[in-house]
């Protein structure tokens, strides 16, 4: 089912791109690469690694392994509208219904045989312990040994060294399982590509800051987190280039992502992954654009090709959701100012302690910089929990508040 | 020239009709039931009849409530948060905090001196402590919902409910009755449980609510026992208008009048 889904997505998207071959087609190219990744994961023809969210995907790609974080599958199942049966499967097997839907979905998919058996499994302790537990469960289901990358929370030289050493062990772990030795030249080539994609992504984010923004509610949804999967590849560079071209062209032509943009929003943490009417409501009724997502940022320096693991360790440690909440707050305060946002939307994804534990601190922290927050309390994966009326009221009241009182503080 | 506000809530559909100067001509409250359109027509017809005018004399209608998009012939649909704030401002000019407990949700709204919403919080996806909760408890106690209001009088307050989940609380009430606990103690326990949830909601918009002027709207404000428990919890008197369930519709009608004036 998943293979056919990705194949159909690829052919439909290719057809759409070929209709307008001279346009940048940024979002479509992004979707096409997602489809191609899905095909590689599910075709049975490639070496596959199921990973945690912050695994070094460019290193794994240099080792010729198609790698992906498992939460991606949860998000894809939600976007296809079929997630309910997988959630039920895991709940029937005893997984608590109030844990993160990304993990419940993926565990249910594995139980139903909808996840290809991987060659390798690499968990990461960041962003959440739920992810680690899900990976341990999956490793049992697949009868695979699990390699765990223990991500330290602070950016000190000892922490960086500690994580960098683990990458070397991880590479040995991978090469022991797929055979062959590590090709230094391939790794270097991959690093160069990651750095190029990084430069382009910085440009894309800089362009998105423009007032009015070329970004609308959907164009950069899931961008930062999924682009990590394409680092080290030509696809990553092409996607970022297409966004840069598209945004530059829009700004040149005086076009904005949301026509007549009136409200600029910051979206915290993850998007709602299934089809829902809220983004369109924001755009059409309130001319509100989501100009920045918390996870759409480059927080890392270019990777040193002569010492890649140190730089990659720093890249992982500086991930926005890693470490102390005060770091997260500094980051979202900085983004709020850079993107000149009027308000922030915190989905408070059901079951995510990582995301919702800091709800009050986030609200207070954004208040300090004059940015009100609306807390949605939505399950970003589980369509069965979607209370559209409640969510509409929260968002619409927030929009009314922002429109009538630009200095309002909170929701 | 007349202005209409219609609040289509989960339990009741309310309408308020204003005259040219913004004075209230008539108001009505009907049960929403299963057919929204019928409820809207009934509530509207009632105010037209009371005021002795016809529908074509209405210049503008603003709808609110969870079913706000189902009201046809509307100039705009505005959320109940904004409408309740606008309504309460017209009744209690000095209100700084508004507590609105309706049929299936509760809200705390922080108002600035001009009556603008500067912060709000809603209950988290659960009807505990709302009108539906009280309905279920009245059922368990085998009394009418209106009777609940004064049943707590004279209670010593020594019963505390351990669950606010509507289902669990209902069975807890049943077992308290079976244990011979006095009804007034049970009702007092229910009211205090609701008050404690509302205090938590208000803290989210006003961490220090001491000294702030608090008003209440929504159908649950008819229940004087809940209002008493809230006054005790906040250690201040709570202002309740005579028709708390029509505050949202009143706000909607006031907004209709303002919007119409701005447009023409
Ligand atoms: S949403 Fe929260 S719990 Fe779920 S994977 Fe992300 S960080 Fe972990």
Of A393, A394, A408, the CB nearest to B117: A408
Which tokens hold the place of B98?
């508004």
Ligand 1 atom index nearest CA of A321 = 7
A393·B81 Cβ contact <8 A: yes
Residue located nearest, by CA, to atom 4 of ligand 1 = A100
Contact residues for A15 (Cβ-Cβ < 8 A; gap 6+): none
Place of tokens 């009934």: B42
Q: Please give the pLDDT value at position A268.
A: 96
Q: Which of A90, A124, A228, A355 best tests ligand 1's pocket when mutated (most atoms within 8 Å of CB)?
A: A355
Give the residue among A157, A154, A153 at the shortest CA–CA distance from A165.
A157
pLDDT in tens, B126-168: 777 788 888 888 888 888 888 888 888 888 888 888 777 777 8
Give the residue among B14, B77, B44 at the shortest CA–CA distance from B222.
B14
Which tokens hold the place of A389?
């009326």
The full 3-state SS of A58-85, as one line of letters, equals HHHHHCCCEEEECHHHHHHHHHHCCHHH
User: What is the ipTM score, two decimals?
Assistant: 0.86
Mean pLDDT, 10 residues at a time, chain A of 411 residues: 91 94 94 97 95 97 95 94 93 89 96 94 95 95 97 95 97 90 90 98 98 96 97 97 98 97 96 95 96 96 96 94 92 97 95 85 93 93 88 95 68 37
| Average pLDDT, rounded, for chain B | 91
A411·B82 Cβ contact <8 A: no
Biggest distance spanned by C-alpha atoms of chain A? 64
| Distance (Å, whole) CA B194 – CA B179 | 22
Q: Please give the pLDDT value at position A407.
A: 52
* Fold entry, domain B2-85+246-263: Nucleotidyltransferase; domain 5 (3.30.420)
CATH of B94-240, one of 1.10.10.10, 3.40.50.620, 3.40.50.300, 3.30.420.40: 3.30.420.40
Contact residues for A269 (Cβ-Cβ < 8 A; gap 6+): A294, A295, A321, A346, A347, A349, A352, A355
- For chain B, the structural domain boundaries read 2-85+246-263, 94-240
What domains can you pick out in chain A, each with its CATH number? 45-181 (3.40.50.11890)
Q: Please give the pLDDT value at position B88.
A: 97
Positions of E strands within A15-129: 48-51, 66-69, 120-124
Q: What percent of chain B has pLDDT over 90?
A: 60
Q: What is the pTM of this model?
A: 0.90
Buried b (16+ CB within 10 A) or exposed e, B223-234: bbbbbbbbbebb
Q: Please give the pLDDT value at position A409.
A: 40
pLDDT tier for residue B211 given thresholds of 50, 70 and 90: confident
For the cut 80, the answer to whether the pLDDT of residue B250 exceeds it is yes
Q: Is B33 left (phi over 0), alpha (psi -120 to 50) or beta?
A: left
| Distance (Å, whole) CA B117 – CA B130 | 22
Q: Please give the pLDDT value at position B175.
A: 84
Say yes or no: CB of residue A63 within 6 Å of ligand 1: no
A184-208 and A223-230 are packed helices; what angle lies between their axes, rounded to 10 degrees?
160
Which tokens hold the place of A367?
């208040």
CA quadruple A195, A197, A199, A202: dihedral, nearest 10: -130
- Residue A137 half-sphere exposure toward CB, CA atoms < 13 A: 20
Q: Does A211 touch chain B (CB under 8 A)?
A: no
- Residue A130 half-sphere exposure toward CB, CA atoms < 13 A: 21
Closest chain A C-alpha to B49 CA, distance in angstroms = 31
Of A393, A401, A407, the CB nearest to B80: A393
Q: What is the length of chain B?
A: 264
Contact residues for B70 (Cβ-Cβ < 8 A; gap 6+): B8, B36, B37, B40, B63
Give the residue among B221, B170, B110, B59 at the shortest CA–CA distance from A407.
B110
| Distance (Å, whole) CA B211 – CA B216 | 16
Q: Does B203 touch chain A (CB under 8 A)?
A: no
Give the residue among B169, B229, B173 at the shortest CA–CA distance from B198.
B229
- Listed by number, the residues of chain A in 334-393 with a beta carbon closer than 8 Å to a beta carbon of chain B are 360, 372, 375, 377, 385, 387, 389-390, 393
Would you say B196 and B162 are in contact if contact means Cβ atoms under 8 Å apart?
A: no
B79·A409 Cβ contact <8 A: no
Say yes or no: CB of residue A118 within 6 Å of ligand 1: no
Distance, CA A348 to ligand 1 centroid (Å)?
A: 10
Would you say B67 and B37 are in contact if contact means Cβ atoms under 8 Å apart?
A: no
pLDDT in tens, B192-201: 988 988 999 9
CA distances from A300 to A144, A191, A222, A267, A293 (A): 32, 13, 18, 21, 17
Q: Please give the pLDDT value at position A411.
A: 37
| Distance (Å, whole) CA A396 – CA A282 | 8
pLDDT in tens, A115-168: 999 999 999 999 999 999 999 999 999 999 999 999 999 999 999 999 999 999
The full 3-state SS of chain B, as one line of letters, equals CEEEEEEECCCEEEEEEECCCCCEEEEEEEECCCCHHHHHHHHHHHHHHHHCCCHHHEEEEEEECCCHHHCCCCCEECCHHHHHHHHHHHHCCCCCEEEEECCCCEEEEEECCCCCEEEEEECCCCCCCCHHHHHHHHHHHCCCCHHHHHCCCCCCCCCCCCCCCHHHHHHHHHHHHHCCCCHHHHHHHHHHHHHHHHHHHHHHHCCCCCCCCEEEECHHHHCHHHHHHHHHHHCCCEECCCCHHHHHHHHHHHHHHHHHHHHC
- A407, closest residue in chain B (CA to CA): B118
Q: Tell me whether domains B2-85+246-263 and B94-240 share a fold.
A: yes
Q: Please give the pLDDT value at position A410.
A: 38
Q: Which of A354, A358, A377 best tests ligand 1's pocket when mutated (most atoms within 8 Å of CB)?
A: A354
For the cut 70, the answer to whether the pLDDT of residue B125 exceeds it is no
């Amino acid at each position: 089912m998943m293979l056919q889904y990705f194949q159909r997505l690829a052919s439909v998207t290719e057809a759409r791109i070929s209709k307008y071959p001279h346009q940048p087609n940024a979002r479509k190219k992004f979707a096409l690469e997602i489809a191609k990744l899905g095909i590689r994961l599910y075709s049975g023809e490639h070496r596959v690694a199921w990973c945690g969210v912050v695994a070094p995907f460019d290193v794994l790609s240099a080792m010729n392994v198609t790698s992906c974080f498992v939460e991606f599958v949860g998000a894809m199942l939600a976007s296809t509208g079929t997630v309910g049966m997988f959630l039920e499967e895991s709940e029937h097997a005893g997984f608590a219904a109030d844990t993160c839907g990304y993990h419940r979905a993926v565990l249910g998919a594995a139980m139903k045989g909808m996840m290809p058996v991987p060659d390798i499994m690499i968990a990461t302790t960041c962003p959440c312990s739920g992810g680690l537990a899900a990976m341990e469960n999956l490793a049992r289901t697949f009868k695979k040994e699990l390699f765990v990358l223990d991500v330290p929370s602070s950016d000190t030289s000892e922490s960086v060294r500690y994580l960098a050493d683990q990458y070397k062990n991880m590479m040995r772990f991978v090469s022991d399982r797929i055979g062959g030795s590590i090709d230094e030249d391939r790794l270097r080539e991959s690093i160069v590509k990651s750095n190029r994609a990084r430069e382009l992504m910085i440009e894309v984010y800089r362009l998105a800051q423009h007032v009015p923004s070329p970004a609308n509610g959907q164009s950069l949804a899931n961008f930062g987190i999924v682009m990590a999967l394409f680092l080290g590849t030509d696809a990553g560079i092409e996607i970022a280039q297409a966004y840069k071209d598209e945004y530059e062209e829009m700004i040149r032509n005086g076009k904005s992502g949301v026509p007549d943009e009136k409200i600029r929003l910051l979206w915290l943490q993850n998007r709602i992954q299934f089809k829902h009417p809220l983004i369109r409501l924001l755009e059409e009724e309130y001319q509100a654009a989501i100009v920045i997502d918390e996870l759409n940022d480059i927080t890392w320096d270019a990777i040193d090709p002569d010492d890649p693991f140190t730089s990659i360790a720093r890249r992982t440690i500086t991930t926005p959701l890693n470490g102390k909440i005060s770091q997260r707050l500094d980051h979202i305060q900085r983004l709020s100012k850079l993107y000149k946002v009027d308000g922030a939307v915190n989905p408070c994804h059901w079951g995510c302690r990582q995301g919702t534990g800091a709800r009050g601190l986030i609200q207070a922290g954004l208040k300090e910089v004059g940015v009100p927050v609306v807390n949605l309390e939505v399950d970003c994966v589980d369509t069965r929990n979607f209370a559209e009326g409640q969510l509409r009221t929260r968002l619409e009241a927030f929009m009314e508040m922002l429109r009538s009182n630009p200095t309002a503080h909170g929701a | 020239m007349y202005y209409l506000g219609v609040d289509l809530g989960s339990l009741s559909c309310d309408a308020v009709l204003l005259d040219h100067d913004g004075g209230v001509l008539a108001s009505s409250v009907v049960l929403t039931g299963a057919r929204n359109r019928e409820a809207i027509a009934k509530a509207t017809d009632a105010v037209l009849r009371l005021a002795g005018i016809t529908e074509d004399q209405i210049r503008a209608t603003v709808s609110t409530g969870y079913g706000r998009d189902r009201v046809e012939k509307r100039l705009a649909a505005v959320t109940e948060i904004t409408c309740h704030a606008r309504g309460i401002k017209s009744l209690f000019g000095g209100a700084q905090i508004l507590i609105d407990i309706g049929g299936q949700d509760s809200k705390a709204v922080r108002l600035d001196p001009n009556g603008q919403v500067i912060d709000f919080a809603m209950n988290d996806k659960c009807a505990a402590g709302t009108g539906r909760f009280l309905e279920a408890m009245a059922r368990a106690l085998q009394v009418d919902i209106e009777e609940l209001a004064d049943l707590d009088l004279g209670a010593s307050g020594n019963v505390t409910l351990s669950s606010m989940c509507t289902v669990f609380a209902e069975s807890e009430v049943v077992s308290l009755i079976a244990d011979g606990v006095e009804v007034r103690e049970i009702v007092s326990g229910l009211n205090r449980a609701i008050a404690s949830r509302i205090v938590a909601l208000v803290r989210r918009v006003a961490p220090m609510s001491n000294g702030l002027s608090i008003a209440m709207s929504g159908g649950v404000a008819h229940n004087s026992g809940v209002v008493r428990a809230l006054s005790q919890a906040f250690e201040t008197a709570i202002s309740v208008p005579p028709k708390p369930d029509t505050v949202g519709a009143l706000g909607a009608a006031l907004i209709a009048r303002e919007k119409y004036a701005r447009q023409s």
